[in-house]
Amino acid sequence: MTSSLAQARADFPILQTCVNGRRLVYLDSAASAQKPRAVLDAMTAFYEHDYANIHRGAYDLSLRATDLYEGARAKVQAFLGAEAPEEIVFTKGATEAINLVASSWGLTHLKSGDEILLTTLEHHANIVPWQLIRERTGITLRVVPITPEGDVRGEDVCAAMTPRTRLVALAHVSNVLGTVLPVREVAALAHAQGALVLVDGCQAVAHVPVNVRDLGADFYVFSGHKIYGPTGIGVLYARCDVLEAMPPYQGGGDMVERVTWEKTTFKAPPARFEAGTPPIAEAIGLAAALDYVQGFGFDILTPHDQALVRLAHERLTAIPGVRLFGTAAHKAAVVSFGLDGVHPHDLATVLDSEGVAIRAGHHCAQPLMQVLGVPATARASFALTTTEDDIAALESAVRKAKDLFA
Amino acid sequence: MTPSDDLRDLYQDLVLDHSRTPRNFRTLENANRHAEGDNPLCGDRVALFLRLGDDGRIEDVAFQGQGCAISTASSSILTTLIKGKTPEDAEQLVRYVQAKCSTRPGAPEPSPPFALSSEEATRLEALAGVRAYPMRVKCATLAWHALRRALAEKVGPSA
């Protein structure tokens, strides 16, 4: 571990707090990551010194706010390796980003009999929007199965693809199993069939380097709060030509050129998709979060996560009765598990009493739970602040739960 | 490793016993009332079966399902408490349990709707350990909500 990562914990005010008299061991970053001081400071500084609405005022303050907001867009563009800032649409989160694509692109380009390919391990946010579109268009949703290890194989994607496949929508990293999906391979297969690719990058952006052009993603979405940024801000990346061919998702101020009672014309992307006053401070907070993450770099972050996953697998499987969910060769910072005879919720309650915060439940992936054959799992997920001591605390708390329920 | 005292308020021996060896965990022949409780958040699921006798009393009760220790123990304890009760008494018991499980620290203890035997009172007291864990109150009351629905059901031979 590098010295800079070793001190990262000190950057997070909330991690200085105690739970039940113990050091907080926060292992739920996959649900939402904690915020470093740099993000909180950037947002406070904006409100204290530069706040005004954007794209409107003919005064200096509004200009400064606009520059900061558009600067955040440029930062996201660079972070994702997009070609132009116009390819970055700010949304309130990944969920809204997928709904935007489903409504705007989906209702324009999909008709009855067309197919969308999803995978078994998708989050509800990448299932339900497509079901809503299915009701309105008569499209078919096809599901690519996963291997027992929790991996998605190119051949299974091939097998599920048909000439009617218009879109393959998949997670970059599974929020339950931690699998890093073979997005580049899937994108190549999809493009060969003339289908587009939407990637849900929520669990990826804080853990693996992302380059949308290299991946071949036509759409890439993520939420700011999972990469140490604030809630209420998310990103939709889409190629310029794809965005150009999409109608507005919501109507309102700032997305129009000229409004008359007879006819309204719309701005070009990304403004076309950002009706109303956007989450300005949140975009600025997100930019600070991306700076913070890039200050370490994925050359450090990815191996750090992988070492933690290996260690957690080792420590947890050393406990009799522990079963891991998701053992793919290529995993990011998520470890799901169960303990024989102990419901995940009881496990989480016992862990909480030890200051160890994990998630227990279906993780908004109920179809995956059915395939796993369990109502819920316990999930530990890691951040750049997570240490080997945290994994030791996890192990010791799981052993305690085992003793209690033995 | 010994569990902290706080945790032992929740997972008392009596609760652990009922979760490991749930009473009346079976299907019920000739059930004439039935309701399911479902907590999609954690995947807890309980199916409650009642048989109301000709005199209107709860003649027999059983449950099936899967859930956490708290919801399983609560369902089990429920089945031990309502047999022989009238639907009206059972309904009052539901309200009492709900109040008891969500009594805040320092707030007055709710009074039982009718005299409980000391064993019955002990079982409910153990269940009420959940009050220090607001996130788990739903687990403890899941079966009791199902009981209320089963009693409100207007179908079946005894309806």
In chain A, what are the domains?
Answer: 3-30+297-405 (3.90.1150.10), 40-294 (3.40.640.10)
pLDDT band of residue B105 (cuts 50, 70, 90) is confident
Q: Which residue has the tokens 């496990």?
A: A347
Domain with B130, as residue range(s), is 5-152
Q: Residue B30's domain is classified under what CATH number? A: 3.90.1010.10
A264-266 and A256-259 as β-strands: parallel, antiparallel, unpaired?
antiparallel
Helix (H, G, I), strand (E, B) or coil at B36: strand
Cβ neighbours of B10 in A, within 8 Å: 349
B44 at A interface, C-beta within 8 A: yes
Q: What is the pTM of this model?
A: 0.94
- Integer Cα distance of A81 and B20 in angstroms: 54
Q: Kindly report, residue by residue over A27-65, the tens digit of the pLDDT.
A: 999 999 999 999 999 999 999 999 999 987 789 999 999
Question: Span A102-126, mean pLDDT?
Answer: 98
Sign of CA dihedral A13, A17, A22, A28: negative
A399 at B interface, C-beta within 8 A: yes
Judge: A346–B6 Cβ closer than 8 Å, yes or no. Answer: no
- Integer Cα distance of A163 and A240 in angstroms: 25
Reported in sequence order, the residue ranges of A112-164 that DSSP labels E, i.e. its strands, are 115-119, 140-144
Query: Measured between CB atoms, which of A20, A343, A362 is closest to B68?
Result: A343
B67 at A interface, C-beta within 8 A: yes
pLDDT at position A2 over 50? no
Helix (H, G, I), strand (E, B) or coil at B80: helix
A22-23 and A18-19 as β-strands: parallel, antiparallel, unpaired?
antiparallel
pLDDT reported for residue B4: 56
- Integer Cα distance of A174 and A200 in angstroms: 9
- Integer Cα distance of B52 and B159 in angstroms: 9
Judge: B4–A20 Cβ closer than 8 Å, yes or no. Answer: yes
Cβ neighbours of A398 in B, within 8 Å: none
Say how many domains are in chain B. 1
Query: Measured between CB atoms, which of B10, B16, B44 is closest to A349?
Result: B10
Give the other-Cβ count within 10 Å of B18's Cβ: 26
Please state the ipTM of this predicted complex.
0.88
Q: How far is A325 from chain B (nearest CA, A)?
A: 17
Q: What would the two tokens of residue B69 be?
A: 């220790």
Is A364 a known active-site residue?
yes
Helical spans, DSSP H, in chain B: 5-10, 13-20, 69-82, 87-101, 118-127, 137-152
For an interface test with A, give the residue of B11, B16, B20 to mutate (most A CBs within 10 A): B11
pLDDT at position B119 over 90? yes
A278 at B interface, C-beta within 8 A: no
pLDDT reported for residue B159: 38
Amino acid, single-letter form, for residue B132: A
pLDDT reported for residue B153: 77
Domain assignment present for residue B13? The answer is yes
Question: Span A322-340, mean pLDDT?
Answer: 97
Judge: A345–B3 Cβ closer than 8 Å, yes or no. Answer: no
Judge: A346–B68 Cβ closer than 8 Å, yes or no. Answer: yes
CB B87 within 8 A of CB B50: no
Question: Span B76-104, mean pLDDT?
Answer: 96
Domain assignment present for residue B159? The answer is no
DSSP character for A384? T
pLDDT reported for residue B13: 94
The CA-based angle A71-A74-A77, given to 5 degrees, is 155
Burial group, residue B41, by CB count within 10 angstroms (0-12, 13-18, 19+): middle
- Integer Cα distance of A331 and A348 in angstroms: 23
Amino acid, single-letter form, for residue A103: S
Non-local (6+) Cβ contacts of A245 within 8 A are: A105, A108, A109
How do the residues of chain A divide into helix, strand and coil, expressed in percent and rounded to 5?
45, 20, 35
Question: Span A320-330, mean pLDDT?
Answer: 97
Domain assignment present for residue B9? The answer is yes
Cβ neighbours of A379 in B, within 8 Å: none
pLDDT reported for residue B43: 76
C-alpha gyration radius of chain B: 15
Q: Kindly report, residue by residue over A249-281, the tens digit of the pLDDT.
A: 999 999 999 999 999 999 999 999 999 999 999
For an interface test with B, give the residue of A176, A339, A340, A353 to mutate (most B CBs within 10 A): A353
Q: Which residue has the tokens 């990293």?
A: A173
- Integer Cα distance of B13 and A341 in angstroms: 16
